[in-house]
Structure 1
Amino acid sequence: MTIRIMIAEDERLAREELVYLLQQEADVELLATATNGRELLELVEDCVPDVVFLDVKMPELEGTQAARMLAARKQHPLIVFCTAHEEFAVDAFKLYAVDYLLKPFEPRRVQETMQRVRERLAKGKAEQAAPVKRSKLLVEENNRLVVIDPATIVYAVREERFVQIHTQTDVYTTRMTLSQLEEKLQAYDFFRTHKSYLVNLQYVSELTPWFNGAYNLQLKGEQRIRIPVSRTAAKDLLRKLEE
């Protein structure tokens, strides 16, 4: 398997050093390099890399911002952060990076990172074949990581730039997109009833016709929460509920 890698690094010497080290890996194909975050986002569209080695500090759009934007895509590359500051390690893993590399780059660390990349890519292919039903979901909220049991999630709703995750007992607010959450919960019985709502079908009690082919969905519980079901999603939802 050939691993398609893109480097986003504004420092020429660091970029050339990383290119040289990655060229030593037999299964690596190096794609076009980017010198800032905006350029990276444009190149990713054309080149479709498997992995991006991403500098944390770059002009125009910082690496952390670019990483969040890439993660929001349905098909998104793995991220390896490159930084001169070791204290960034915790933040890197909060953003679900595969690894982080400290500058100046050490050949052995690059080799270790590539092994992690290979393992993650192989795991991703296996998960695509059969979604794994994980018992824990890790969610970032207010600079902390919260562990949630996916089975307790009743629904999630997008509120401007955030997503609120409503469980049986609590509400969590995160910058994770609704699409990202949906992907993580694909092994469970969740359904996107509307562009702003993701619902656990195990908590659905009834459907009420609304207008123009749309519905209102009512959830179990004392609050009797109603969720909109768009006209385009209604047919698929009815079919799903009959399975």
Structure 2
Amino acid sequence: MKVMIAEDEWLARKELVYLLEMEEDIELMPHASNGKELLELVNEWEPDAIFLDIQMPELDGMQAARMLKTAAQVPLIVFTTAHDDHAVEAFGLNAVDYLLKPYSHERLKESLARIRSKLSNSPLTTSLPSKMQFSSKARNWNKLLIIDGEKHVLLDPETILYAEREEKSIHIYTYSNQIYMSKMSLQELENKLGELPFFRPHRSYLVNLNGIDELVPWFNGAFNLILKNEKRTQLPVSREMAKELFRLLK
């Protein structure tokens, strides 16, 4: 689930980032500090949901939400504010939730549950897997198109060792130590790879299961992956994802 934060207060944004990073299925998109910047980022990154502060400079959250109704992919919106003055207006804009600061982790989880419920019931979400499967069979094509700057590279998925999220882009690493940069998200790359043996050990990484050499215990149930390359690259595996990884490797 791709989530974007629009918040001009640094401390409030930092707090929300900290809480959202505890959720394994969330991929944070670049942040916006005002409404104008938000509109530009939404067009570029197409988030599934936005935590939108109401009081922001240049273009406030309410104005931005009205303008987002015309976006190619209209995101779900959770308004965030220190006051409850705008609650009625917020729900008039079909907001999923209205979150008061300071944030409570339990209250945030309620908002996320509403977002997940909305997304799971949307026609786009439910039809996407079958469309991807049909498209893959129709093309009978085993190359992945990577747009790296001005270059368009056709990459064999089996040559990919792992991919890493880096701010507004991802870096794709091959077994032969080549690195490609793409503006797609990790979730988009994972979707393109379809049923190939790739796994998300952590929100910031996607790894080829065939490229794992060792699993080394770390602490509190977490692990480090050691990969089959010259650098013996190590990638973190969260405690929650370690259980799923062991199930896949058995």
State the TM-score, normalized to the length of structure 1.
Answer: 0.50
Structure showing greater Rg? 1
With the length of structure 2 as denominator, give the TM-score of the two structures. 0.48
